Amino acid sequence: MHLRTLGQGLEVSAIGLGCMGMSQSYGPNPGDRDDMIAVLRSAVDLGVTFFDTAEVYGPYANEELVGEALEPVRHQVTIATKFGWDIQGGKSVGLNSRPEQIRAVADASLARLRTDVIDLFYQHRVDPDVPIEDVAGTVGELVAQGKVRHLGLSEASATTIRRAHATFPVTALQSEYSLWTRDPEAEVLPTVAELGIGFVPFSPLGKGFLTGTVDQRTSFADGDVRSTIPRFTQQNREANHALVDHVSALAASKGATPGQVALAWLLAQQPWIVPIPGTRRTSRIEENAGSTVVPLSADDLADLDDLAQRVGVHGDRYNEVHMGYVGR
């Protein structure tokens, strides 16, 4: 696995692993915890060193899973987790990035992750009730105390990124970015490029759609978040398949999979972009790692660059409630 460098010199594998789906959001959770531990450890064997979790995934169960799985190899990996939600009775009921909450979450996450330091601590969503300077300053204090190594933000606007970075250096900005979600390109990517901040795309495979395994005939299980997303209605899936058909044809010509082409396109955008596709299967981790050697020519990249605009993308990437949390 190739390595890449985010902001502040943080070096990680070119492809990370988003761990959320091992505990929530994609239908029934895996029944055997040991199976997920084995998948996480196999990722390390395949060269993945960057693992993404959050207290709200579960809640708490995902951090506990990641902590148990990676404890024997903790010195080999970078673990990112997140704060920023008000979790009551096992559910998030809103945002909370008050300094005292950030400190409490850090201590609780350290225990669940079975570690003495959090490598990358993201604000999961920007809290409009707490100045970002207070958030960045609090994480800076945790860095000074040795509990955290780096500050990250997620789904923040360019203005917020600048304000946070002026208070304490931001290492990574995490937002949704893929061949069919191009929102960061207008303002966020130029901002992080200017400031020397790394970019971590989540859902780089379009929540599975860009792999070609989801179509208008797919039925989503109970608890699958895609059943609540406008982009995944049956009608929109049918309309959006023109994009996947194009990617699939290019992949076939390269001896690659559609998912590998989608990841290779992201990797080609900037050397400080590190996608974190999620999966529950070792075979998918191996496939995703193979994207680092998929050859895309300048013509291939130019064709993919304007693909979404050319064929159109139908449906919002979140429902109305969740869209309210992004871009602040």
**172 contacts 273 by C-beta, under 8 angstroms:** no
57 is catalytic: yes
Burial category of 269 from C-beta neighbours within 10 Å (exposed 0-12, middle 13-18, buried 19 and up): middle
Cα 228 to Cα 120: distance, rounded to the nearest angstrom: 30
Three-state DSSP at 78 gives strand
Strand-pair partners of 45: none
Q: Which residues contact 222 (CB under 8 A, 6 or more apart)?
A: 27, 28
Find the DSSP H helices in the chain. Answer: 33-45, 61-70, 99-113, 132-144, 158-167, 188-195, 234-254, 258-269, 282-289, 298-305, 307-311, 320-323
**CA separation for the pair 180, 164 (Å, rounded):** 28
Query: Do the Cβ atoms of 181 and 206 come closer than 8 Å?
Result: yes
* Dist CA 59 CA 52 (whole Å): 14
DSSP assignment letter at 221:
P
- Are 53 and 24 in contact by the 8 Å Cβ rule? The answer is no
Residue 108 exposed, middle or buried by CB count within 10 Å (0-12, 13-18, 19+)? middle
Q: In this structure, is the dihedral angle defined by the CA atoms of residues 174, 180, 185 and 187, taken in order, positive or negative?
A: negative
Q: Which of 26, 57, 122, 177 is catalytic?
A: 57
As annotated, the active-site residues are 57
